[in-house]
Amino acid sequence: MNGQKLALFFFFSFYVYAINAQEICTNSIDDDADGLIDLNDPDCKCNGITDQIFVPSSLIPNPSFEDYNCCPTGIGQLSCAKNWIQASIATSDYYHTCGNFTRDPRRGAPPLPLPAGNGYIGILDLQQSTVSNTTYKEYVGACLNKPMQSGKDYTLSFWVGFGTAGDTWGPRISTTLAIFGTLNCSNLPFGLPNGQLCPTAYPNWFEIKRVNATGVNKWTKVTTTFRPLGNFSAIVIGPQCARADGNYYFFIDELILEESTKFDSIQLSLSGKPCDDDIELFAQTIAFPHITYQWFLNGIAIPGATTPNFKIPNRQEGNYVLRAFDGNNCELSNVYKYTRDTFTTSVVKEICEGDFVRIGGNSITQSGKYNFQLKSILGCDSIVDLDLTVRNKYATTIDTTVCEGTLFSINGKNYNQSGTYFIPLKSIHNCDSNIFLTLNVVNILYSTFDTFLCKGNSILINNVKYDTSGQYTWQGISIGNCDSIVNINIKEYPIKNDSFKLNFCMGDTVQLGNKKFHTQGDFSFLEKSIYSCDSFVFVKVDLLNKSFLQIDTTICEGEFVTFNNQQFTTSGKYKINLKNQAQCDSIVDIQLQVNQNTEYIIDTIICKGNKLTINGTDYRTQGRHIQKYSNALQCDSNLIINITEHNIYNLNIDTSICDRIPISINNQTYNKAGLYNINLVTQFGCDSLIELNIQEGFSSFRNIDTLICEGDFIPFGNDRLSATGRYTKQFQNISKCDSTISYNLTVLSPKRTTIDTTICFKDTISLRNQNYFTKGNYLSQFKSYQQCDSIVSINVNVRPEITANAQIQQIRCNGDNNGIIQISSNQSNQKFIWSNGDQSTKLSNLKAGDYKVTITDEASCQNIFTYTIIEPKALQLDYFTEDANCRRNGTGILTIESISGGTKPLSLKLNNRQLEVDTQTLIITPTTYELLLEDTFGCTLIKTIEIKEPVRGTIDIREDSLFLIVGDSFEIKIELADIEKIDTLIWTGNGIFSCQNCLRTSFIPLQDNTRVEVTLIDENGCLYKDFVIFRIKQNVHVPNVFSPNGDRINDYFYLVSDSSVEIIDELRIYDRWGEEIYRANNILPNTEIGAWDGTFRNELVMPGVYVYMINYHNKIGNHFSLVGDITVLR
C-alpha cells in the first residue's frame, strides 16, 4: 500500500509539472513533457492570422452579430440582431454585451474571451422536445448580400463555442452542424407554424454541407469549402438533420462566407528535380514586416529555417510545412510530403481466365512472373514486379430426368419444371464455374380401363381376380421408372331370355342373329348377348301378302304424267314398286301413249306500207308469226308465217345538157332544162320513183400567162410545170360542161454579184445575217424583187493579228509595289494605250494586279492584252505552345503545325537556332523566344513566343490536428487553389474512410495520434500533399462508492463514460468471499438499465466493500477489462 501511494505521489508530481510547463512551438523540444513536440502538440494549433491579410469580406451581412436593433434582454430575441432572421418557429437566442443579458442559467455560459467582438448566438439541438415527443432544432438564417453562383467554390468559416453546461442543457464534446440554402429569400422563415425540424423537411430547402467541430470550454474555428448546386440567395446554419443522441446547446460567432479564391493562405511551391534529390520549397507570401516564418519537418521545427524559401537536404524525406506568426496567431501552409520518387513495387495477383491485369499500358492475361520499368509522374524510375496466376473458368453440362413431384437441387436451389437452366457459380478462386442444366420432368401416367363380366363369371387382370361390379385402382411403374396409375371400371351384366315377333312379306327373308326366317311359324334358339353373356331367344313369324295395279293413258307431245312423284313424257310401259299398308310390295304397271303435234310454214314478202291477210289476220310488219290450232288427235297444230318487208325507193338525179345536146334516161330523151318524175318497179315488185332535175349549160376556155423562178413549179391537174412553154388541159366546169385551161409559162434564171472587202483580225463582216471573219471566197444566196435567187460572191481579206511580247518582273515579297512590265509588238507604226492611261512600252513600280494595254495598227485594227503582276503568298506560320508543367520537368512545348507562303527555299530559326522547315515539336524551357521565317528573297515573318513557368496550385486541410472521442467520425476536406482538374487523389491513414479518392471524406481513426495524409496530382502532373493529426481519447470512470437507499440519488452502480463505449459486455459483482452476487450482459453505460441496484436475490446487501469486474468494448472494436472495489453505503 505504501508503494502504491508513493507511485501515485510521483505521478501527480509529474502531472503538475506537465500542466505548469508551456510548449514552445519552434525549438524542437517537448517543453511540456507530454510526448508531443512543436506542431505535434495541440498547444501549437494555429487558428489563423485574423488581420485583413487573411479575412475576406462576407456575403453574410453582420457576420459577427455586432450590429443590433436592440439589446437582448432574454432568450429567443434574434430579431435584435440586424440582418439576421429567426429561421423557424424554434427560437434561437441572441447575446450581446450591450445589455445585461449575456447568459441563461438553463443554457450555460460561453467560453471566454469571445472570438470576434461582443455579439454571438446560441442554438438548441434536442433529442426530444420539452412539450412534445419529437425532435427540436434551432437555426439562424440570413439573406445574402448577393446570391452564390452555381458551380463556384465558396469557403465558410465560423466559430463554435463549447461553453459550460447550464442547469438543463450544455454542449456535447463533438457536434455536427449543417449549412442549408434556398434559391429565394422569401422562403425564410420556413415551416411555420410547425417548423421545429431541419430545413430539408420543408419545401425549397437544400442541404449544402455538414461540418464537425470538437472542443471543451473553448471556441473552435471551423472552415469548410463547398460548391453550391444552385444560385442560393439565403442560408441557414444549425444542427444536422439526424436526431441528436441527447439534449445539447452550442454558441456560434463570426460567419464569414466568400468565394474560395478570396480567402488568403500560405501555399508552397516546388522547384528542382525530385528524381535527383534536388528540391527547393518556396512560399508565395505577402511582405508584412511583423510576420516571421519557421519551417517544420514532420511537425518539428528545423533549426535556422526561418525564411520563406527552404532547400530540402539530400535524403531528408518527410512532411514539410511553413508556419507564419504575427506575434499573436499563426497560419500554416499546405503540407509537402517529400519522398524520393524511385521505388519498386511487388504485386502478387490472381485473376480469372479471360480477365487481365493492366500495368503501364500492358495487358497481361497469362500466368507468369513479369517485370516492368515505368516512369512516375515526375519521370523517375518506378519498377513493378508482377507474379500473376490465371485461374481457369469451368462449365458443366447436366442432363437428367426426375418424376413429377420430385425436386432436383443444385447449390441450394430447387428445380421441378422441365427446361434448360443456366446456373452461375463461383469456384474456390472466385472464378466462373457455370452449370448448364437440362431437366426433363416425367409426369405420372394416369389411365382408365373399362371392362365387364357376365353374372356368375370372373376376370383376371394383372394376376388379380375380379367377380363383381365396381371401381378399382392399380399402381405400377412406367417405362420412365415413374408412377403409373390405372383406374379399372368393371360392370356386371345378367343372363337374359328374349322373345321376338316378326312380321314380313311373303317371299322375303329375315335374319335374327345367325338364324334366317322365310316361312311362317314359332321358333327358339340359344345366342350370345353383346356382352357375350348367354341369351335364350323365342321368335314368332307371320307372313304378309303383296298387291298389283294396271294403268293405260294417252297424252300429247310436250305434256307429262305424274305418279308417285315421278314424271313420264314418252310413250312406253313403266313398272313402279311401292309399299302397301302392310309394308309389302305394291306393283303398279303404266301403259303410256304420246301423240305428236303438227306444224306448217309459209314464207312470203310485202312492200313497205302494204299488208298481208291470212285466216282473217292482217300482217303489216316483217317477222315470224304463229297461228295455233288443234289436229284430229286433239294435239297442237301450228301455222308459221315468215314475212320479209322490202322498201319503196325515191331517187333524185341532177344533171346538165351542155351546148343543147339531149340526154336519154330509161328510153326517154330529154333536151330541155326542167324537173321530171319517172315511175319504175323494183325486182321485188315494189314501186320506185325517180325525180330528174335537168339544167342547161355551155363549155368554157381560159388562157393563163405566168412567171416562176428557176427550180420552182406549178401544179396542173396531175402534172407539175417547171419549164418555159404552153400547156393545155380539159376539166369540167360548174355546169358540169367541158372547161379548157391553157398555161403560158416563163421560167426566170438567178442573178449573180461579186463583193471584195478587208477586215481586222478577229473582226466580222455581216451580209444578210451571215457573218464572215476568216479570209476566203464565200457565196451568199438572196431573193430578187421577183422573189427569185440572187447569188453574191464575197472575197474577204483579213489583216494580220497584232501580237505583243512582254517581259515581266514580278513582286518578290507580299505587299511590295516593285513590279515591271516591258512590251513590244510585231508591227511598226503602232500605238499603245494602257488601262491606267500610260502610252509607253514600259510600266514600273507596279502593285499586284491585272494591267491591260490596247495596241492599234496603221489600219486602225486593235488588240487588247492583259498582263498580271503577282505577289507570292504571305509567309504563314501556324503553331501552338504549351506552357511548362510539372509532368515535363518544368519544360514547355512548341509545335510547328504548318509553314506556307513566300518563295522557296525557306529558312526557319528559333532565337538564331536553325530549325528544319517542316512540322515539328520542340521541348523548350520557359522564356521568351523569337521565331523567324525567311524566304529566298529575304522576305521575313517574325513571331514572339512566350513559354510560361508551370502554374502550381495549392491544397490545404484547414485543420492541423483534431481531438475526437474514440469512434467518432470527422469530415475532412481539401481546399484547392489554382487547381483546375485532378488526375489522382488518395487519402491514407489508419482508420475508416467514407471515400478514399474524394475531396471531402468522413474519417474514423482507429488509434491515437493517427496521421491522415492526402496525396493529389493535378492534370499538369504537379504533386501536392497535406496531412492532419487525429488524437483520440476515451474517458471512462468507475465510481468507488454508491448508496442504494431509495432516495433516487446515487442508487445504482454503473460505468460512467463518454460516447466511445459501444457496449458493456459483462458486469459482475462479488462479495468479499468471492461469491458472485450480480451479473448483467450487453448493457449500456451511463444508464440505470442493467446497473447494479445493491441487491442480492431481491434483498439489499449489507454495507461494505464489494469487488466489480467490468468487460466492455469501444466503437472501434477494442476490448477492456476493469477490476476494482465498490463501497456500498446506507
* pLDDT 10s digits, 31-54: 888 889 998 988 888 766 654 444
The string of pLDDT tens digits covering residues 369-405 is 888 776 644 456 667 778 889 888 777 788 888 888 7
Range ranked top by mean pLDDT from 266-270, 577-581, 1068-1072: 1068-1072
SS3 assignment for 170-201: ECCCEEEEEEEEECCHHHCCCCCCCCCCCHHH
Question: Alpha carbon 402 to chain centroid distance?
Answer: 46
pLDDT over 90 (residue 58): no
Residue found by looking up cell 488518395 in the block:
986
Q: Is the dihedral of CA 588, 589, 591, 594 positive or negative?
A: positive
For residue 281, give Cα distances in angstroms to 269, 274, 718, 783: 6, 12, 127, 112
pLDDT (0 to 100) of residue 988: 95
pLDDT tier for residue 531 given thresholds of 50, 70 and 90: low
The string of pLDDT tens digits covering residues 592-650 is 888 877 777 888 888 887 888 888 888 888 888 888 777 777 787 778 888 888 877 77
- Quick one: average pLDDT of 665-678? 80
pLDDT over 90 (residue 1079): yes
Kindly report which listed range (353-357, 845-849, 956-960) carries the lowest average pLDDT score. Answer: 353-357
Closest CA to 477 of 485, 467, 465, 488: 485
In the chain, DSSP finds a helix count (H) and a strand count (E) of: 1, 94
Q: Is the peptide bond before 905 cis (omega within 30 degrees of 0)?
A: yes
Closest CA to 596 of 572, 631, 628: 631
Distance between first and last Cα of the chain = 27
Residue scoring higher pLDDT (520 or 193)? 520
Burial 955-968 (b: 16+ CB within 10 A, else e): bbbbbbbbbbbbbb
CB atoms near residue 560 (< 10 Å): 12
Tell me phi and psi for residue 558, to 5 degrees.
Answer: 100, -15
Q: How far apart are CA 1095 and CA 1080, in angstroms?
A: 13
Q: Is the pTM of this model over 0.95?
A: no
* DSSP code for 9: H
Question: Alpha carbon 1110 to chain centroid distance?
Answer: 61
pLDDT (0 to 100) of residue 48: 66
Q: How far apart are CA 356 and CA 358, in angstroms?
A: 6
* 328's grid cell: 499573436
pLDDT over 60 (residue 299): yes
pLDDT tier for residue 652 given thresholds of 50, 70 and 90: confident
Tell me phi and psi for residue 563, to 5 degrees.
Answer: -145, 125
The string of pLDDT tens digits covering residues 939-950 is 999 999 999 888
pLDDT (0 to 100) of residue 14: 36
Closest CA to 1060 of 975, 979, 998, 968: 968
Residue type, 1121: S
Closest CA to 1024 of 949, 1121, 1104, 950: 950
Question: Alpha carbon 781 to chain centroid distance?
Answer: 82
* 534's grid cell: 348367354
pLDDT (0 to 100) of residue 143: 95
* DSSP code for 310: E
pLDDT (0 to 100) of residue 883: 86
* 690's grid cell: 325517180
Helix, strand or coil for residue 20?
A: helix
pLDDT over 70 (residue 1): no
pLDDT over 80 (residue 426): no
Helix, strand or coil for residue 931?
A: strand
Q: How far apart are CA 613 and CA 601, in angstroms?
A: 15
Mean pLDDT (the chain, rounded): 83
Q: Is the peptide bond before 113 cis (omega within 30 degrees of 0)?
A: yes
Domains assigned to the chain: 38-47+266-338 (2.60.40.10), 55-263 (2.60.120.260), 343-391 (no CATH), 394-442 (no CATH), 445-493 (no CATH), 496-544 (no CATH), 547-595 (no CATH), 598-646 (no CATH), 649-697 (no CATH), 700-748 (no CATH), 751-798 (no CATH), 804-869 (2.60.40), 876-946 (2.60.40), 1034-1128 (2.60.40.1220)
Strands 534-544 and 496-505: parallel
The string of pLDDT tens digits covering residues 881-890 is 988 888 777 8
Residues of the chain with pLDDT > 70, as a percent, come to 90
